[in-house]
Chain A
Amino acid sequence: MATNKALESVLEELLAAEGDVTAETLEAWLRKYPQYRQDIVEFVSEWRLQKHLPEEAANVDAHAIAAQVLAGLHEELVRRDDREVPFLGIFVQAQKLGLRLENEVAELGVNLHLLDMLDKKRVRPDTVPPAFLGALAARVQVSAGKLHQWLSEGAPTRRPATIMGALSFRRPTVLSFEKAWKQSGLPTDALKDWTGTPAARK
């Protein structure tokens, strides 16, 4: 049965599978990915040829090529920085990137509750450990500086629509990272992975 996978990933899988390419293994690959038959045949044929050809000296100016390839790097990063879209929040950004938040929080060793508190800006940014801030920023693909700035801007407050609403209105509590961590039900010991010290009891 054909598997819907990008050619790039198929070739990665093929190389990572290791072992010799026999008629049987090649047949299995072609049966699995008939849509890439030509590419797989070309790739494998060239791969095997390269493997068995003797070493061959080359006259290639690698330094000059590297310099050419890297020539516009700074300008490119400046361009990207200029046209970068505003950061609209952790959940919005994750949705935009197609990230599965369950996976992201698991890999960070936290939970969705804590992430929700951060997304609602209910955590004081100055108390967030830099290591955690950086890890979270990397996952949602923004700079740590930008994430910190966004957290510092404070949560937008919605004006109550009714008098009763106004009377009962309370600004959401903003907690320290440590308190937010505990309130999220995360194990206290795990906090030291980010702070380097065990959480102090208050």
Chain B
Amino acid sequence: MVIKELKNFTRKFWSGLFKKRGQVKLGFYGPPNAGKTSLANKICQDWVGEDLGTVSKIPHETRNVQFKEKVEIEKNGKKLEFKLIDTPGIATKIDYEEFIEFGMNKKNSQIRAKEATQGIIESIKWLDDMDAVVIVLDSSENPYSQVNITIIGNLAARKIPVLIVANKIDLKKSDIKKVESAFPEYKVVGISVKDGDGIDNFYDEMFKLVKKVK
């Protein structure tokens, strides 16, 4: 027990020492189908000129952690460089039959379900390595889901700066106020990746988020 604690302390000490000198690791977390990869793609298209990953209406399209090294954003004469890390959506349950409803056959649905469970485990393991996190939520869904609370609770316990993005503000059911009242301690930015609304404001908030790391 004491040895384990010592090992943890040593690991945290060294990673803390070198973290600030290297590239900021910016993670994109959230429940499935909130638009994490769509937003990551938008950033990569705007500043790198290429997509990061594929998107789909079928949940758990992203089943592996995906990276884009050295993304550089330039705004109002300021530069922001970071490593973008897009993670699979975190859920507490996976039912392969859900994928069948989207037209997939049973075998492929079962494979997708298995990969999705592994993706969730991978996402959780990566929490420790993030310098700052953008939580992407679907603003038309109930924000009080335990997955959101668990992710944000874990980041708060690790003292990792968080920015909450309320995506899909183009939808009729979208309710940013509800997201804000669910997480009053955090900055919430409303965007629509689909229409591009709020993206400029989001980039401004990213500068503020990364500033909290340094």
The answer on A and B forming one complex is no
B residues contacting A by CB (< 8 A) are: none
A residues contacting B by CB (< 8 A) are: none
